[in-house]
Amino acid sequence: MDYFLTEEQQMIVDIASQVTDERIIPQRAELDENHTFPREILNEMAQADLFGIPIPEAYGGFGGGCMDIVLAVEQIGRGDVAVGTAFAANFLGSFPIMLSGSEEQKNKYLPEVASGRKFAAFGLTEANAGSDASGIQTTAVLDGDEWVINGTKQWITNGGEADIYSVVAITDRARGPRGASIFILEKGDPGFTFGPKEKKMGIRASSTTELIFKDCRIPKDRIVGRAGTGFITVMKTLDISRPGIASLAVGLAQGALDEAVPYAKQRRQFGKPIIAFQAVQHLLADMAIGIESSRALVYATARHIDAHPKNVSRVSAMCKTCATDMAMKVTTDAVQVMGGYGYMCDYPVEKMMRDAKILQIYEGSNQIQRNVIGQELNREYS
């Protein structure tokens, strides 16, 4: 389908697609098997200027919008959701600085991310605060000219690999969500260490660790925005980041269809290729319908966010939920089309099915997304 991309957008697609076909797809099985962080590939993506996509031009980026991000991320996701996750987490970690950071913070950190010299990450989740994001326990206390941070963040993408971390901590517990603040942590800050790499069902090449803060002292000016505004910045960050997860899902599902159709054409049973059987054709047709409808929604959402960046929670939640549920179904059906071969690690679809699951969970479970949508509907029709 023609989505009327601009010349620049088509260029983003072409560059991301080339990295995917030439570098990611040939290596993805090995990266997954060995749980290897794809630093080399990410460095190449940085050299191709993909890291600068959403960073404003004033800070060394391309000044692109949500639509530009989803186009790049979709292509990377077509190759490997683990690489796509490691890539997109740089934007998740940078959005708080872009949205609420000081001029000094933007000048110091954003050019490093845009060039890919430094990787970024986002630290919100804790052992007892996942969906209940405002229930975090990590604290930050001002002591003279320094903040002292204590607590542990869990399941942080790019943990240990990133250099710059946007971390959420409580500065005033009595104020609930209005008592949370965001801080910029740098790898190497005293009292800041990492847990071991988690072993995961899927996206094994991406790094997931704890961030551990024990009397970690950072300069006073590392707070992002005013104290107490952190939760709102977190919510705004997730609103603009979730379409990226949706586009990973669209890419992943496209990758699964790209495996399933050629297989169905060459696999012969009962004297003919299995694609000649209507049962298989219908599975493939439903996969194609799901992918194209999700892609259309993701692009429409991204364009809406670029045109109207305020109050985008509902559209963002809708596209994340729709596309990631679709990707789970499409990758499961790709395994079904390929039968016993699909279940074997020799073919990529079993990995795709494992990778799909996290998309329904991270950056807000799809149940939380439905809450956000439902609550807005409740307000709209009151």
What are the phi and psi torsion angles at 355 (to 5°)? -70, -30
* Whether residue 363 lies in the annotated active site: yes
Calculate the CA 328 to chain-centre distance: 16
CB 370, min distance to ligand COS, A: 10
Stretch in the footprint of ligand COS (CB under 6 A) among 138-146, 163-171, 346-354, 357-365:
357-365
Which residue in 22, 186, 363, 376 is the catalytic one? 363
- Position among 126, 189, 239, 259 found at the interface with ligand COS (CB under 6 A): 239
State which amino acid sits at residue 204. R
- Position among 107, 128, 131, 266 found at the interface with ligand COS (CB under 6 A): 131
Q: How many residues bind ligand COS (CB under 6 A)?
A: 22
106 near ligand COS, judged by CB under 6 A: no
Stretch in the footprint of ligand COS (CB under 6 A) among 70-78, 216-224, 275-283, 365-373:
365-373
Which ranges of the chain would DSSP assign to H, the alpha helix?
7-19, 25-34, 39-47, 66-79, 81-100, 103-115, 230-266, 278-307, 313-343, 349-359, 366-380
In the complex with ligand COS, which residue's Cβ is closer, 113 or 275?
113
CB 308, min distance to ligand COS, A: 14
366 near ligand COS, judged by CB under 6 A: no
321 near ligand COS, judged by CB under 6 A: no
Spatial neighbors of 302 by CB under 8 A, at least 6 apart, are: 65, 66, 67, 69, 70, 243, 247
CB 184, min distance to ligand COS, A: 16
- Position among 51, 122, 213, 347 found at the interface with ligand COS (CB under 6 A): 122
In the complex with ligand COS, which residue's Cβ is closer, 52 or 230?
230
Residues 147, 215 contacting (CB under 8 angstroms): no
Distance CA 84, CA 96 (A): 20
DSSP notation for 85-154: HHHHHHHHHHHHHHHH--HHHHHHHHHHHHHTSS-EEEE--BTTBSSSGGG---EEEEETTEEEEEEEEE
Stretch in the footprint of ligand COS (CB under 6 A) among 38-46, 124-132, 166-174, 277-285:
124-132
- The set of catalytic residues is 363
Which parts of this chain interact with ligand COS (CB under 6 A)?
A: 122, 124-125, 131-134, 177-178, 231-232, 235-236, 238-239, 313, 362-364, 368, 371-372
